[in-house]
């Protein structure tokens, strides 16, 4: 377990989740963390809607829900209006991990995933579901919500951008 500076009590990041930590300079958008949280929710709601899932907000809580079950958790932090930390969207997640914690400090919350929601629908057509395919949809939704243009980068370009060096191993 690791302690970090962001909202909520406990969260889980693991296999089968799309974890995104958007770094956004809110001085270029809107200096309002509540607005930013609602925008994150909106991008994730649009993402799950691509799978026929009705994403929604839950009054008094941050994150994305569907039919009373939580499908995405959000916890952010900002310094000088630049955000870090972000979200975890359950795609093909083993939900039993959540039995070990009180997710986001919410007693009695039921966690769900895109795969679980699809599997419970009788009208669901077979869907090829992967964290990568959901990530592509989420990237487009974030670009739309924040009025940004997504840019594909190779692993090498990303490493150079974040560390200043790249070693092919």
Active-site residue, 104 included? yes
Residue 70 forms beta bridges with which residues?
65, 111
- Determine the Cα angle at 143 with ends 68 and 113, to 5°: 25
Sheet strands side by side (includes 82-90): 17-20, 82-90, 69-79, 64-66
Unique residue bearing structure tokens 């790249």: 166
Q: Are the CB atoms for 16 and 113 separated by under 8 Å? A: yes
Unique residue bearing structure tokens 């839950």: 58
Q: Is the dihedral of CA 43, 115, 120, 95 positive or negative?
A: negative
Helix (H) or strand (E) holding 89: strand 82-90
Structure token digits, residue 90: 């359950």
Which is catalytic among the residues 104, 106, 109, 114? 104
Of residues 65, 108, 88, 64, the one with CA closest to residue 6: 88
Catalytic residue set: 104
């Amino acid at each position: 377990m690791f302690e970090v500076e962001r909202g909520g009590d406990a969260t889980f990041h693991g296999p089968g989740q799309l974890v995104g930590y958007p770094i956004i300079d809110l001085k270029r958008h809107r200096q309002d963390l509540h607005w930013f949280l609602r925008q994150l929710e909106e991008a994730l709601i649009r993402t799950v809607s691509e799978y026929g899932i009705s994403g929604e907000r839950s009054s008094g809580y941050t994150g994305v829900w569907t039919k009373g079950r939580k499908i995405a958790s959000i916890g952010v932090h900002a310094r000088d209006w630049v955000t870090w930390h972000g979200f975890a969207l359950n795609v093909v997640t083993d939900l039993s991990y959540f039995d070990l914690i009180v997710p986001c400090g919410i007693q009695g919350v039921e966690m769900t995933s895109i795969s679980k929601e699809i599997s419970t629908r009788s009208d669901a057509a077979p869907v090829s579901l992967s964290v990568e395919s959901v990530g592509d949809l989420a990237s487009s939704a974030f670009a739309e919500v924040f009025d940004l243009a997504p840019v594909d980068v190779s692993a090498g370009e990303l490493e150079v951008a974040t560390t200043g060096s790249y070693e092919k191993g």
